[in-house]
Structure 1
Amino acid sequence: MTYVLTALHQFINSSIAAYSCTEMPEGDKDKQHEQHGTLLRALVSAMKVSFITNEVQKSVSFIKCAISSTWIKLDEIKFLMSSLGNIGVTLYNIGHLDEAPKALELCCQTVWVYARLSYHRLSASQDEQRIIEDIPKDTLKDISMDAFAKITKMVDILHRCGVKIIPDIIVKSLSELLANDSTSEFLNSSLVLIKLWVKELLAYALVESRGTMFCVEMQKRITNILLNKIYCSKEYYLERSRVLVRKARVLRTCGVQSISSCLESLSEAISLLRDIPLDSSQGNAPAIHQLAIAYCLHAHCAQEANLGAEVITTDPRCFSKYINKINTSAFCFF
């Protein structure tokens, strides 16, 4: 198999060098384009053989070189994306948990490239006065949703393999896939990926009741990632406040020594929502409800920390003030 892999690598290397050559007759370029399929199949075959010979890095480098080149087409990247995903899933299914992440991480990188080129290449004129028609907005939306769905599937399998770089992949995916369009419909596509994190956070919270410190540490880790890399802009004030309250609850389970950190999180959660209009009919009921909860928890923690009567009496009054402002017909408690 080593000889087969060597032959594949030689063919791939010479093909990529030929395709990267810019000075050649137009007829030769057309002929080379027809041969792209052979190169793509060679890249996939080399990747498969590499896992047998334990020489994966060179095959990975060739694929990275191919997807970053100017000559590759969108449908060709899509072929590699699908093939790499299938290789990774197959390796996972047969129990190769150390090898599967190599294909899955490369698949994620291919998804990023495919989405990026879809935004740019299909909505602009190409070189040599060759104009490509603008891609319809619905098609871009479909590409975005499909990309997030694929990344979510890859991340889920990577999690099962015990990979530690999942937060980096999620953050990179969000930054790559939302970099070119931040409209609400594209942001909604990202929820499938963010919910994967939130689901994990809630799962650790359920297991935490059994006294597992590992679950507490994982909740801390996830909340910190959400606060520092996801919900860090002003538009996410409500989401950030909710995560801060979740963080405070996690910190409180760590004992009295964490009371001050717990109060800091609750104070920030309150400060994010304190200036909202007290009119639930304007759609502010969820924020008012969240603010009331933050004040209630802050009062409880302040009492435990013996911060004085003023704080302890002020917070409950604020809780009562905000909870009474909620129009129960406009907001449903779950």
Structure 2
Amino acid sequence: MLAKIFEDIRKKGSFSFEKIIENYTMSDDEFFEFLKFVHLENIPEVRNSTDGSDFIVLEDENVFIAEKDIIKSYLENIKEKYEEFEKKSESEKENEELIDKYLKIAVKESLLYSKYGFSFLDTVQEATLGIMSGLNYYSQITEITKDPEFFIKNFAVRYILEFQKELLKDIKSSELSYILYLKVKMDKSMGLSMKEISRQMNVSTEYIEQLEMLFDEAEPEELMENTQIFEKADKITQMYILENIPKKLNYLDEQILVMTYGLDDKVYTEKEIAKSLNIARHNVKILKEKALNKLSIDMMRNDFVENSEEANYTVN
């Protein structure tokens, strides 16, 4: 299996973790060999999940306030751990538990791979398990490179994507197809034609039109009770793949949270963030709160449907 993967990657000259995880099931040992291959041959990664545009607007941003408070508290705790770690002497840092050194990587990768339909906190938990698995190879990694972060980080990514892949098997088809419907709306708002969208998603234009009619006209209660919707959604589920699920955060969201909570090289002040990202200082706090709101959305939970009438989700 690995020989075939390596041959395909060499031909393409790049790889996607999402495609690899979607198409193959690897053991930790096999994944370590895969990472060795892409690292030693310096093969670039291509991120395939939808990136960039905000397409969800929350008219009532208090709907997910409980989850948001937990996430915010968790990120603040990570920030405090980082600040305490930076105050330690070099010898104290050397003696620090490896899992504590690399925990912020698990959080950062969870931000970067956070997608609609999945809980951020669950994603962090899986990423942390990935870090722990990667650390089992630490001595071997340090023989290959002086910068082990590449290997440790991508074990976290693998566990995140495996977790998302596994959850998709149990997700209600109607809810998953609703995410596809939102993606269609987003693509149309970005100027893509129906033909381009259908080719990208590998579904017919007729089917997309039926999907829009289905969700444009149906009330939330109908969505969960209409057997025709379930039948149509099942067809979508068969064609829908992990890489097509839109991300929760755009680039600006990611950078503001990474810099605010010290998930990269240091904890940045609002002034430093504003200067680095070329935005007004007073917007940093506003954008951070909006990013935390989006991070709190879990479309696969029942409360998404229960709250959808009062939350007024709209598409830009």
Shorter-chain TM-score bucket reads under 0.3
Query: Which structure is richer in relative contact order (CA contacts within 8 A, separation 6 or more)?
Result: 2
| Higher share of residues assigned helix | 1
TM-score, normalization by structure 2: 0.27
TM-score, normalization by structure 1: 0.26
Q: Which has the larger radius of gyration?
A: 1
